[in-house]
């Protein structure tokens, strides 16, 4: 742990009613004394109204200051929280004064990193802080809050404790090999290992959806020119974001905005229409569309259903992976040239949805379909348990599971206690990576670099 005292603005920069500057570390209170030009009586956890001055004695701002004493603070250190007026000049001057008095600008997530290093939070909880800050939907907030409350940590710790319980018995047996005493029951070890694998498997089931819950899901609207892609894009966004016109080739660049469906964040993209054109700009737009089609999670392929569209889609659908493409017939308000069912037959897909982007018809069905096509089947568990492991936690749990597989193998071959102990220990160590009991400095740096400054 660095013994220095860190400072940062913990609210977003810019003009606001109030801004909060935090100071954490051994010098926090001494710095506060300096800011009010004299030793103050700082009753912990009490709000003090004070005038802060620069080193020339000139007032900088009237603020509310709260002191929390180590170890009873977020960071586990002496922590000063200053609520000042939300002017960037005030904040800048205050931070400058604090640095002039021995404070140092905090790195990303350094307050939370200190909280972790001082045992106030475990690693899964610290990661949940970042998730909670970036939560945009209720589901994201609920999962983050469950993890912050120790929900995931508790489940992993139970697994770890069961492993350690067996480890003790197996290791005692190693010490007593001379006497030929067996302190453990291989069948029981096997039964427990099997049970723990099931529990780990349950947690891992949430990993894919957990990744999507945190990262968001990319959905690209694709199709021939003039099919109504931009109209659909706007309708799903609920605002006139993209230019719509009856001239084919209106959209040239890729547009991207966020929408939320079922508690997940979707990055919805509008693209340039695909088709024959002599226009260099449109060609460039199309090559961006094709690249997006390859990389995206889900394609919504829009066809103008009011016309004899067969010739318009050519082999464009070939660039769409069948597994990740939803076909939509647009402009149903004008009457469909061919029904949705027949279209599905022609395209060789199970389902086609008919909509009217102009009249916002069929959009709920399409939203539901987008949700089904991307996360359905993986989310039930998350919604119920509010547990969604992230990639790092997933990797650690898989490592634990692999050790358990080797343990079961060893048991099957009647391996000696030394081997069993090795694998049980490996599984427990891997679990420890989730809660942060066994982590390296490099890993910590990677994790906390995801944070913003001031958290």
Ligand X SMILES: Nc1nc2c(ncn2[C@@H]2O[C@H](COP(=O)(O)OP(=O)(O)OP(=O)(O)O)[C@@H](O)[C@H]2O)c(=O)[nH]1
Q: Which stretch binds Mg ion (CB under 5 A): 40-48, 72-80, 187-195, 225-233?
A: 225-233
Tell me: does residue 251 bind Mg ion (CB under 5 A). yes
Judged by beta carbon distances under 5 to 8 A according to partner kind, the member of ligand X, Mg ion, none in contact with residue 357 is ligand X
Answer for which of 5, 220, 312, 356 binds ligand X (CB under 6 A) is 356
Enumerate residues 6+ apart whose C-beta is below 8 A from 354: 305, 328, 329, 330, 332, 336, 340, 362
Cα 157 to Cα 434: distance, rounded to the nearest angstrom: 9
Cα 94 to Cα 82: distance, rounded to the nearest angstrom: 10
Enumerate residues 6+ apart whose C-beta is below 8 A from 72: 44, 45
Beta bridge partners of 352: 327
Tell me: does residue 225 bind ligand X (CB under 6 A). yes
Q: Which stretch binds Mg ion (CB under 5 A): 55-63, 194-202, 242-250, 311-319?
A: 242-250
CB nearer to ligand X: pick between 193 and 222: 222
Backbone dihedral angles phi then psi of residue 46, each to the nearest 5 degrees: -125, 140
Answer for which of 333, 381, 402, 429 binds ligand X (CB under 6 A) is 333
Tell me: does residue 227 bind ligand X (CB under 6 A). yes
Judged by beta carbon distances under 5 to 8 A according to partner kind, the member of ligand X, Mg ion, none in contact with residue 150 is none
Which x/- pattern, by CB under 6 A, does the window 257-286 give for ligand X?
----------------x-------------
DSSP string across 185-236: -HHHHHHHHHHHHHHHHHHHTTHHHHHHHHH-EEEEEE-BTTSSHHHHHHHH
Cα 90 to Cα 52: distance, rounded to the nearest angstrom: 10
Q: Which of 67, 85, 72, 73 is nearest to 20 (CA)?
A: 85
CB nearer to ligand X: pick between 358 and 443: 358
Q: Which stretch binds ligand X (CB under 6 A): 82-90, 238-246, 398-406, 414-422?
A: 238-246
The Cα-based distances of 365 to 8, 163, 224, 362, 389 in angstroms read 47, 47, 22, 5, 30
Tell me: does residue 230 bind Mg ion (CB under 5 A). yes
Tell me: does residue 226 bind Mg ion (CB under 5 A). no
Tell me: does residue 230 bind ligand X (CB under 6 A). yes
Q: Strand, helix or coil at 453?
A: strand
Size of the site for Mg ion (CB under 5 A): 4
Write out the residues near ligand X by the rule CB under 6 A: 225-231, 244-246, 248-251, 273, 330-331, 333-334, 356-358
Write out the residues near Mg ion by the rule CB under 5 A: 229-230, 250-251
């Amino acid at each position: 742990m660095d013994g220095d005292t860190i400072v940062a603005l913990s609210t977003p920069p810019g003009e606001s009613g109030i801004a909060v500057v935090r100071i954490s570390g051994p010098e926090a209170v001494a710095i506060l004394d300096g800011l009010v030009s004299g030793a103050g009586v700082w009753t912990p956890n009490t709000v003090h109204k004070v005038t802060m001055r620069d080193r020339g004695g000139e007032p900088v701002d009237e603020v509310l200051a709260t002191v929390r004493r180590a170890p009873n603070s977020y960071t586990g250190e002496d922590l000063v929280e200053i609520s000042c007026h939300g002017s960037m000049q005030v904040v800048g001057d205050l931070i400058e004064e604090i640095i002039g008095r021995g404070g140092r600008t905090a790195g990303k997530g350094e307050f939370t990193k200190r909280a972790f290093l001082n045992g106030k939070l475990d690693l899964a909880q610290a990661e949940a802080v970042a998730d909670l800050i970036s939560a945009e939907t209720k589901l994201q907030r609920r999962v983050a809050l469950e993890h912050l409350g120790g929900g995931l940590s508790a489940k992993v710790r139970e697994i770890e404790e069961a492993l350690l319980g067996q480890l003790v018995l197996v290791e005692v047996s190693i010490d007593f090999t001379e006497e030929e005493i067996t302190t453990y029951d291989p069948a029981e070890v096997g039964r427990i290992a099997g049970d723990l694998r099931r529990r780990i498997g349950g947690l891992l089931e949430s990993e894919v959806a957990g990744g999507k819950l945190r990262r968001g899901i990319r959905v690209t609207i694709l199709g021939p020119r003039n099919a109504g892609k931009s109209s659909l894009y706007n309708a799903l966004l609920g605002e006139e974001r993209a230019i719509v016109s009856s001239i084919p080739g209106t959209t040239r660049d890729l547009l991207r905005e966020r929408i939320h469906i079922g508690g997940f964040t979707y990055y919805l993209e509008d693209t340039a229409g695909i088709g024959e054109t002599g226009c260099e700009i449109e060609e460039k737009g199309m090559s961006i569309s094709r690249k997006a089609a390859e990389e995206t999670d889900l394609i919504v392929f829009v066809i103008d259903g009011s016309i004899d569209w067969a010739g318009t889609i050519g082999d464009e659908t070939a660039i769409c992976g069948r597994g990740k493409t939803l076909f939509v017939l647009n402009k149903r308000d004008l009457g469909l040239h061919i029904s949705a069912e027949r279209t599905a037959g022609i395209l060789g897909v199970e389902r086609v949805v008919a909509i009217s982007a102009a009249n916002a018809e069929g959009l709920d069905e399409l939203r539901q379909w987008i949700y089904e096509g991307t996360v359905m089947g993986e989310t039930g568990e998350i919604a119920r348990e509010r547990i969604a492991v992230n990639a790092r936690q997933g990797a650690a749990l898989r490592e634990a599971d692999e050790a358990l597989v080797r343990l079961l193998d060893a048991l099957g071959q009647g391996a000696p206690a030394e081997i069993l102990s090795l694998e049980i220990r490996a599984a427990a160590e891997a679990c420890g990576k989730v809660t942060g009991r066994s982590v390296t400095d490099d890993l910590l740096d990677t994790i906390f670099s995801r944070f913003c400054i001031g958290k």
